[in-house]
Amino acid sequence: MGHVSDATSTDDQHFDLVVIGGGPGGYAAALYGASAGLNIALVEKDKIGGTCLHRGCIPAKELLETAAIVRTVKHAGDFGVIVEPKSVDWGITMARKQAVIDKLAGGVTTLLKNRKVTLFSGNGSLGPDRVVTIVGDDGETATVTGDAVLLASGSLPRIIPGFEPDGTTVVTSDEFFHLTQIPRRAVVIGGGAIGCEFASTLADLGSSVTILEALPKILPGCDDDVTRVVLQSFKKKGIEIRAGVAVTGHTPMDGGGTTVAFGDGETLETDLVVVSVGRVPFSEGVVSDGTGVTISERGHIEVDELCRTGEPSVWAVGDAIATPQLAHIAFAEGMLIIKDLLGESPAAIDYSRVPWAIYCHPEVAFAGHSEASAKEAGFEVVVSKHRFAGNSRAQILGETDGLVKIIAEKRADGNGGRVLGVHMVGPWVTEQLSGGYLAVNWEATVDEIAEYIQPHPSLSELFGESVIAMTGRSLHG
Ligand SMILES: Cc1cc2nc3c(=O)[nH]c(=O)nc-3n(C[C@H](O)[C@H](O)[C@H](O)COP(=O)(O)OP(=O)(O)OC[C@H]3O[C@@H](n4cnc5c(N)ncnc54)[C@H](O)[C@@H]3O)c2cc1C
């Protein structure tokens, strides 16, 4: 890391806003705030871009794309395209992943510099009176002050005792992106979004994969119909799913690999263990004594609905606070605090209706109530479900697993009223959710959306047709 500051002087400096943490939450606030004319300092101890760019969203999606190419090549013969026997050159795969990361990280850094954000390299710590002390790798120290301070220190992978990562046999997401080869066998501990993305990637790359999940089902939070499709598709890929089993330890084997113990005395030999059991907020050392900032027992920086901490003019956003740990939520919170700081009285984020996207194959995307949660909340609902198997574009792609499910309030005539939730699983649904997300958040009704035309042939027709089917009439479905 080297020098504390890219700025010409490391003397005490004052800014409109000092941001600690250069991940999506921190850099979004810096970019957005600078575009509104604020003078901003951004303190990052590692690399601008944070978890998302360097060991999260971007590398995970980049490797999923390699997996998608493997699938495409595998099925090329179905389209009459005859290809030579294929293999994956992992070196090229990893180099491409890194090139994408480097390009994006360079882009964000350039944007920040172009907007005159002052970048500090070092560990930032907030003290009283919004004084931030920055200590560089070489011990060099600087202090800066801000009219406002944003804490955006992010999160770290949760570690299971006994499964401490060694970087080769036992990894978390931090080490996964530096694997030197594709494992023959892999055990993924944790069947959440990230665990399912890793399992899907590895299975498509040819690994024999088992998911061990302590909860009764994988992908908690997803609508049951959606999870069912993922389960069937994962089964077709050869992924074995063991839900309701806790891991108890592992014993390394001579010559590599390890034996994982789980459940009621069961064991499984594997070459790689991917520990993917969630993330813990990182707030250690970010705040020193004497401020009104409080940290919860679980390590979250405590905030109100506008991301304000207990210290005046100090906000916190992203994975460090107890809101959904998603990069786009960090972006939204970063922009929210700038509006609040500027006195624009922004509306709080409605976390029950934010978009969720899981990029495993088949992809999952949703916003708003599932059928079960809508009923639990006391709504009388109508549900429309349509499968990609009947969609022309999906047939053309050869990607017919999946469905669109819409949950709407039931009107007196039995048809659908206000849309409460949109849930999708299938080809490119992460790119198709936006219409459904807008519908849920705009509180649009089925009749209103049914007026709009979807292009033909397109995957998004399935959303349109699922809506039309709730008007009491229907087209193809
Ligand atoms: C494998 C994986 C896949 C993911 N995929 C997705 C996805 O597809 N979509 C999605 O929305 N989300 C995804 N996420 C989640 C996403 O990465 C996080 O929600 C997001 O990075 C949170 O942003 P943040 O700014 O709060 O924290 P971080 O990205 O963790 O950034 C925090 C930054 O603060 C720095 N920092 C911490 N303390 C200090 C300090 N005291 N001084 C200076 N710097 C400090 C850290 O070095 C870090 O760079 C994924 C995560 C993982 C692990």
Provide the residue-wise pLDDT of the chain in tens; the chain has 477 residues.
Answer: 335 665 434 455 999 999 999 999 999 999 999 999 999 999 999 999 999 999 999 999 999 999 999 999 999 999 999 998 789 999 999 999 999 999 999 999 999 999 999 999 999 999 999 999 999 999 999 999 999 999 999 999 999 999 999 999 999 999 999 999 999 999 999 999 999 999 999 999 999 999 999 999 999 989 999 999 999 999 999 999 999 999 999 999 999 999 999 999 999 999 999 999 999 999 999 999 999 999 999 999 999 999 999 999 999 999 999 999 999 999 999 999 999 999 999 999 999 999 999 999 999 999 999 999 999 999 999 999 999 999 999 999 999 999 999 999 999 999 999 999 999 999 999 999 999 999 999 999 999 999 999 999 999 999 999 999 999 999 887
pLDDT given at position 92: 97
SS3 (DSSP) at 313: coil
pLDDT given at position 191: 98
The pick from 20, 51, 277, 360 for probing ligand 1's pocket by mutation, whose C-beta has the most ligand atoms within 8 angstroms, reads 51
pTM: 0.96
Q: Whose CA is nearest to atom 21 of ligand 1?
A: 52
Could you tell me if the CB of 46 is within 6 A of ligand 1?
yes
pLDDT given at position 424: 98
In the structure encoding, which two tokens stand for residue 111, read together? 């944007």
pLDDT given at position 1: 38
What distance in angstroms lies between residue 108's CA and the mean position of ligand 1's atoms?
15
Residue spans of alpha helices (H) in 271-386: 327-341, 371-376
Cis peptide before 457 (omega within 30 of 0): yes
Angle, helices 224-237/193-204, rounded to nearest 10 degrees: 30
30 membership: H or E segment, kind and range: helix 24-35
Report d(CA 93, CA 91) in Å as an integer: 5
Query: Position of tokens 């609508």?
Result: 223
Query: Position of tokens 């970063």?
Result: 334
Q: Which of 14, 75, 456, 476 is catalytic?
A: 456
DSSP 141: E
Report d(CA 437, CA 92) in Å as an integer: 37
Report d(CA 99, CA 97) in Å as an integer: 5
Atom index in ligand 1 nearest the CA of residue 124 equals 42
148 membership: H or E segment, kind and range: strand 141-151
Is 476 a catalytic site residue? no
What distance in angstroms lies between residue 51's CA and the mean position of ligand 1's atoms?
3
What distance in angstroms lies between residue 153's CA and the mean position of ligand 1's atoms?
8
Strand 185-189, strand 272-275: pairing = parallel
118 membership: H or E segment, kind and range: strand 118-121
CA distance from start to end of the chain = 58
